[in-house]
Amino acid sequence: MGRPFFIGRAKAMDKLALLMGLVFSIMWSSAFATARILMEGAPPFLTLTARFAISGLIAVLLARALGQNWRFDRATLRSVIVFGVCQNGLYLGLNFLAMQKIEASLAAIIASAMPLIVALLAWAMRGERMGALGISGLIAGFVGVALVMGSRMSGGADGWMVLACVIGAAALAVATLTVGSASRGGNLLMIVGLQMWVGALVLGVVSALIEVPKIVPSPALLAAFIYQILVPGLSATLIWFALVGRIGAIKASAFHFLNPAFGVIIAAVLLGEHISLTDIIGVVVAALGILAVQLSKLRRGAAPSVPPDVPANAPPIG
């Protein structure tokens, strides 16, 4: 199968690529603040079940319109299931659960550490070399995240919910490193849609077992739900595909360093969350650390660490 219509041949970074990377980072970062709005009026697992069911349907229909199919080999099917469970079930499920009790900006900061966790595990599990720049970035990145986490926890943030976010990010990082790419044969949107249906199935069962399906409807709740489906889900997916196709996955992943700052800023603007001096210092240090890790990979031409909503084999949908 040929490239999807939005995938071209990789070329040098240009103004359009810079704009696409900026927009993608803003879309990804905005997912946390809007998720926090959803958690004010609906249970987390039921919300995600509905979201994944609808988003998955849209992705599958779009994939079929592009001529994609769901005939996969065993390796691809395994990737679809593993990432559906780890990304949509564990990572996003635990983040939505946590955001019932912790601020969206804190969840965004922890999720932003995903490239750092992947880099650390790649070194520990695969013996991948990082170089001085990568090691320095890894240390700085974790120090920055720790600064924000420590500040928020001393201010009363629920430690168990913080741990849930960390476990979610770690689960997705492990899946990223242990499951090979499922996009070798194309069918990218179909893969994404089916991964979301896997997440819907898993979380639907969990919701039925432990949640009370109580929803407090409001215009804000409906707007946040629609936004989650269309913007950090579907729109960001297409932009990520196009960005990777334009400049390559390694260069595209350099935009990860913007995520901590945008996550905190958007939460402050939409939700009125307080930003302390410690938060600012931690965000800057974390962002520079992530940038250093990605630049180190760019220098070596290594496979990039994927962003929190982006499994190795698919763009950021969900």
Question: What is the residue extent of each domain of the chain?
Answer: 15-300
The per-residue pLDDT for 305 is 44
Would you say 274 and 105 are in contact if contact means Cβ atoms under 8 Å apart? no
Model's pTM, two decimal places? 0.87
C-alpha span between 289 and 283 (Å, rounded): 10
Could you give the maximum distance between any two Cα atoms of the chain, in Å? Answer: 53
- pLDDT (0 to 100) of residue 203: 97
Query: How many other C-beta atoms are found inside a 10 Å radius of the C-beta of residue 150?
Result: 13
Q: How many Å apart are CA 200 and CA 58, to the nearest integer?
A: 14
Q: What is the pLDDT of residue 312?
A: 38
**pLDDT at residue 301 in the model:** 59
The pLDDT, as a whole number, for residue 45 is 97
Crossing angle between the packed helical segments 277-300 and 114-126, to the nearest 10 degrees: 50
Tell me the two tokens of residue 146.
């720790």
Distance CA 52, CA 50 (A): 6
Using the structure block, give the residue that is written with the tokens 């983040």. Answer: 95
pLDDT in the model for residue 176:
75
> In the chain, where does DSSP find H-type helix?
15-39, 44-65, 74-83, 92-98, 104-112, 114-126, 131-154, 159-178, 188-210, 219-228, 236-247, 249-252, 259-271, 277-300
Residues lower than pLDDT 70 in the chain: 1-12, 178-186, 300-318
Q: Using CA atoms, how far apart are residues 95 and 18, in angstroms rounded to an integer?
A: 29
CA nearest 145: which of 269, 289, 275, 276? 289
Q: What is the pLDDT of residue 11?
A: 61
Instruction: Please tell me the predicted confidence (pLDDT) of residue 254.
Output: 78
Residue of 204, 191, 186 lying closest to 83 (CA atoms): 191
